[in-house]
Amino acid sequence: MHGKRERQISPFQRRQRGQERQRFISYPANDRGFTLLELMVSVFIISVLMAIAIPNLRGSGEKAQKAACESDQRLIRTALDSYWVENHSYPTGTTDEIVNTLVSDKYLQAKPKEPSGGQFSVIISNDTAQVSCSVHGELGDTDGVSPTTP
Ligand SMILES: [Zn+2]
């Protein structure tokens, strides 16, 4: 009963509300929405933009992984250098055993994980150490690695 009385409004109010409603739902007479051609052009433009952007994003990811890999390889070489300076020899064994020695002797804080899912390999021969990766090969400056190189 209360609600019924509220719904009764004067003709002036009714006209005003009608005009307000009309302002919301009226469109310019020439706006017919999008044509099929316009939609097709839009989809084409979006797909061209995506075709340009996606390989770029993928490339930057690979670049970042390679940079992280190079940084890890440098880290392992530096640890090997420090080990050599203190022990006058490199740690021996497989890559895993060498890296584990570097970690347990505190030359490395943690075992580096190859960022692209590959494997690091550390090869010690003739008192020189070679660090490389199964995905990227040998990265970074390798001159400082071996204390025995002339
Ligand atoms: Zn790598």
Residue 143 has φ and ψ, to the nearest 5°, of: -70, -35
CA atoms within 13 A on the CB side of 39: 4
pLDDT band at residue 144 under the 50/70/90 scheme:
very low
Question: If you measure from the C-alpha of residue 112 to the centroid of ligand 1, how many angstroms do you get, rounded to a whole number?
Answer: 11
Please report whether residue 41 resides in a domain.
Answer: no
From start to end of the chain, where are the E strands?
A: 120-125, 128-133
Please report whether residue 140 resides in a domain.
Answer: no
- Residue 87: give the domain boundaries: 69-133
Question: If you measure from the C-alpha of residue 51 to the centroid of ligand 1, how many angstroms do you get, rounded to a whole number?
Answer: 27
Please report whether residue 60 resides in a domain.
Answer: no
Predicted TM-score (pTM) of this structure: 0.61
In angstroms, the CA 136 to CA 142 distance is 14
In angstroms, the CA 122 to CA 130 distance is 6
pLDDT greater at residue 133 or residue 141: 133
Number of domain units in the chain: 1
Question: If you measure from the C-alpha of residue 65 to the centroid of ligand 1, how many angstroms do you get, rounded to a whole number?
Answer: 7
Please report whether residue 150 resides in a domain.
Answer: no
Question: If you measure from the C-alpha of residue 66 to the centroid of ligand 1, how many angstroms do you get, rounded to a whole number?
Answer: 6
Q: Give the 3-state secondary structure of residue 24.
A: helix
pLDDT greater at residue 95 or residue 32: 95
| Residue 144: closest CA among 134, 131, 133 | 131
Average pLDDT over every residue of 19-24: 62
Please report whether residue 54 resides in a domain.
Answer: no
Question: What is the percentage of the chain residues whose pLDDT exceeds 90?
Answer: 57
Which of the 8 DSSP states describes residue 124?
A: E
pLDDT in tens, 24-70: 666 666 667 888 999 999 999 999 999 988 888 888 888 999 999 99
Question: If you measure from the C-alpha of residue 64 to the centroid of ligand 1, how many angstroms do you get, rounded to a whole number?
Answer: 11
Question: What is the percentage of the chain residues whose pLDDT exceeds 70?
Answer: 80
pLDDT at residue 1, rounded to an integer: 46
pLDDT greater at residue 91 or residue 127: 91
Q: Which residues have beta carbons under 5 A from ligand 1 (an ion)?
A: 69, 114, 118, 133, 135-136
Q: Which two tokens stand for residue 105?
A: 């002797």
CB count in 10 Å sphere of residue 116: 14
Please report whether residue 112 resides in a domain.
Answer: yes
Please report whether residue 58 resides in a domain.
Answer: no
Question: If you measure from the C-alpha of residue 62 to the centroid of ligand 1, how many angstroms do you get, rounded to a whole number?
Answer: 10
Please report whether residue 121 resides in a domain.
Answer: yes
